[in-house]
Structure 1
Amino acid sequence: MKYSQATNYALHTMLYFVALPVGTTIGVQRLAELQRLSPTYLSKILTRLVKAGMIESTPGINGGYRLRRNKADLSFLEVIHAIEGTASLFHCADELDHRGCLIQQVMTQAEQQMEDYLKECKLVELVGQVGDVTSLV
């Protein structure tokens, strides 16, 4: 299985948000610098995270983005779904006979187990390993 690079950046971005003190705002430019990304590219990722209700945009001179949800609740799976969507990773071709459906059942069960695991993995569990977050903002 392979997730897009956008998911990689979204997970890292959300880890930064979770590591920051509650209510702290950080700009797209700073987030992009931390990950060595184009601010334009990161803005597209941030837009998806805003639409998913995980972060919010704050206007003004000290504006930027901040965490909208309770940091303890944010799972890897939510971030992945915000970027990749919720479609199944595997689909049998429609023209296959019943053997294809049996394969689909196995793949669906495996995917469900992976999603259950990612749902239980919370970003906040990694915060202690991020280091000093005061230098982020």
Structure 2
Amino acid sequence: MRMSEGVEWALHSCLNLTWLPAGQAVPAAKLAAYYELPAAYLNKQLQALARAGIVSSTPGPRGGFRLARSPEKITLLDVVVAIEGGDEAFRCEQLLKQGPGADAAVDYRQACLVSQAMRRADLAWRRELAGQTLADLKAQVEKTYRRPPTTP
């Protein structure tokens, strides 16, 4: 499975928004310039985050994006799902229904050991991302670098 670069851009943008003072917003163009990214494409990611309730946007000359809820309430999984969607990484097509000894009455998505193993792996991945918040990342950055980074 390969995630789009939009996930990385969204995660870094959200992390940077954790250091903004309350009530302040950052324009998409300024975030894009900070990372030397195409502004139009980053804006699409930010709009997806806004639709998911992760960021909010404020129009006007002092407008831009800010987190819509506290960093403690935004998981990495929230951001990934906002950008990539919530579909499982593996989709069982019930290949065993075409094999020898197949039983048309069996739901091989449930009975297939390959499908079960892939579902367990997907759940473990999702659990790991759901267990980490933006606040956790923010604390790790501050501990590692002993100061908050410069923000856009």
Q: TM-score, normalised by structure 1?
A: 0.89
Question: Superposed, which structure 2 residues align to 1:1-137 within 5 Å?
Answer: 1-97=1-97, 98=108, 101-128=112-139, 129=141, 131-133=147-149, 135-137=150-152
Please tell me the residue identity of whatever aligns with 2:116. Q
Q: Which has the larger radius of gyration?
A: 2
Q: CA deviation at 1:122?
A: 0.9
Q: Answer yes or no: is the 8 Å Cα contact 1:89–1:111 preserved in 2.
A: yes
Q: CA deviation at 1:30?
A: 1.0
In structure 2, C-alpha distance between the alignment counterparts of 1:108 and 1:132, rounded to whole Å: 38
Please tell me the residue identity of whatever aligns with 2:39. P
Please tell me the residue identity of whatever aligns with 1:79. V
Q: CA deviation at 1:92?
A: 2.4
Q: CA deviation at 1:19?
A: 2.5
How large is the Cα RMSD of the aligned pairs?
1.9
**Paired residues, what number?**
136
Please tell me the residue identity of whatever aligns with 1:50. A
Q: TM-score, normalised by structure 2?
A: 0.81
Unaligned runs of 5+ in 1: none
Q: CA deviation at 1:27?
A: 0.7
In structure 2, C-alpha distance between the alignment counterparts of 1:132 and 1:78, rounded to whole Å: 23
In structure 2, C-alpha distance between the alignment counterparts of 1:119 and 1:89, rounded to whole Å: 16
**Percent identity between the aligned chains?**
34
In structure 2, C-alpha distance between the alignment counterparts of 1:33 and 1:132, rounded to whole Å: 19
In structure 1, C-alpha distance between the alignment counterparts of 2:36 and 2:96, rounded to whole Å: 45
- Give the 3-state SS of the residue equivalent to 1:93 in structure 2: coil
Q: Answer yes or no: is the 8 Å Cα contact 1:28–1:64 preserved in 2.
A: yes
Q: Answer yes or no: is the 8 Å Cα contact 1:19–1:124 preserved in 2.
A: no
In structure 1, C-alpha distance between the alignment counterparts of 2:95 and 2:118, rounded to whole Å: 18
In structure 1, C-alpha distance between the alignment counterparts of 2:138 and 2:50, rounded to whole Å: 21
Q: CA deviation at 1:54?
A: 0.8
- Please identify, of 87-96 and 56-65, the stretch whose mean Cα deviation from structure 2 is larger: 87-96
- Please identify, of 68-77 and 20-29, the stretch whose mean Cα deviation from structure 2 is larger: 20-29
In structure 2, C-alpha distance between the alignment counterparts of 1:136 and 1:15, rounded to whole Å: 10
